[in-house]
Amino acid sequence: MKLSMKTLANADAGEIEVSDDVFGIEPRGDIVARVVRWQLAKRQAGTHKTQERAEVSVTKTRIGRQKGAGRARHGSANANLFRGGAVAHGPRVRSHAHNLQKKVRRLGMRSALSAKQAGGKLMIIESLALEDAKTKTLKAQLDGLGARSILVVGGAEVDAGFARAARNLTGVDVLPQQGANVFDIMRRDMLIMTRDAVEHLEARLK
């Protein structure tokens, strides 16, 4: 399929041929959800931890005699029902990551890109080079697009001037082409990609 290319000022800049297999499939919301869950689980730290009975530092002396006190037979103060005792079935340090097949991850990326294209939320530009690399100038150009939140995917290396100008803009994320992922694409309203990023993703997802 052919898509129109624009400038950051939302002016026409010709057309580009893109793959129907990457930007024109029927989006699979269930696959997108699986990929997002995989991404979030993979980056979760998993360092939450509570003390177990062997780790609680309390006296080892018995609380009371075994019989005759009229109370339960407790052997140690580190039980979970005492103040200062251990936590029963508490979290342990572990990895939350799980496996997800490459073909499912690729399908999730194709679905995310196709969903943006179908919804009119995809904009392809020639490059990110700015004549006036200032935050004020870039903000005025992005405001003209009418998007509240934007993900910008550049080439192998993002233009230094553009990255510096976008650094303090709220709701604007900038990634190199190899960093494009389903979670960041779906969490932003509009997706802006350079020609290089489109070619890279097509080669990566075919």
Query: What was the pLDDT predicted at 111?
Result: 97
Query: What was the pLDDT predicted at 151?
Result: 96
Domains of the chain: which residue ranges?
2-28+97-205
In Å, how far are 18, 105, 199 from 203, measured between CA atoms?
11, 15, 6
- Written as six digits, the tokens of 201 are 């993703």
Query: What was the pLDDT predicted at 33?
Result: 97
Query: What was the pLDDT predicted at 65?
Result: 85
- Other CB atoms within 10 A of residue 44 CB: 13
Query: What was the pLDDT predicted at 72?
Result: 87
DSSP letter at 98? -
Query: What was the pLDDT predicted at 187?
Result: 94
Specify the CATH number for 2-28+97-205; select among 3.40.640.10, 3.40.1370.10, 3.40.50.720, 3.10.20.30: 3.40.1370.10
For every residue of 44-58, DSSP letters joined together read ---------TTT---
- Other CB atoms within 10 A of residue 186 CB: 20
**In which residue ranges of the chain is pLDDT below 50?**
none
Give the pairing of strands 122-125 and 150-153.
Answer: unpaired
Question: Which residue, 124, 181, 100, is CA-closest to 1?
Answer: 124
pLDDT tens by residue, 102-157: 999 999 999 999 999 999 999 999 888 888 888 998 988 888 887 789 999 998 88
Intra-chain end-to-end CA distance of the chain, in Å? 15
- Other CB atoms within 10 A of residue 128 CB: 25
